Amino acid sequence: MAININNLSNNNQVKQKVDQQTQVKQQATQSSVVAEQAKVASKDSVSITPQAKQLGELQKKANDAPAVNQKKVEQLKKAIISGEYKIDPEKLAASIAGFEFKLN
């Protein structure tokens, strides 16, 4: 096998190889930087204040509670049917007036 020492164009090929290797190293460095940034991004966290936790618990209790106090409804029904339920007209008028003022 003969070596051609007169062919100087091989220097360009060597330079191209070196340039390619440099580019590969730069890409590897860039990908490692991106990977590090991804690790940092995954370390984000959220903390909930005690007040927010308490509010969540209260909302859960409110959702679990019945919308109507059925026991109170039954007591009122019995009182109305038996005639024991008395209406105080002055108290009723005051309640209606108070409600109207709150609307304005």
In whole angstroms, give the CA distance from residue 50 to residue 47. 10
CB 79 within 8 A of CB 85: yes
**Is the separation of the CB atoms in 76 and 85 below 8 Å?**
yes
| pLDDT tens digits for range 35-84 | 777 666 666 778 889 999 999 999 998 888 878 888 999 999 999 999 99
Instruction: Report the pLDDT value the prediction gives residue 1, as an integer from 0 to 100.
Output: 54
- Taking only Cα atoms into account, the Rg of the chain, rounded to an integer number of angstroms, comes to 41
Instruction: Supply the pLDDT for residue 16.
Output: 67
pLDDT in the model for residue 30 = 79
Q: What is the pLDDT of residue 58?
A: 92
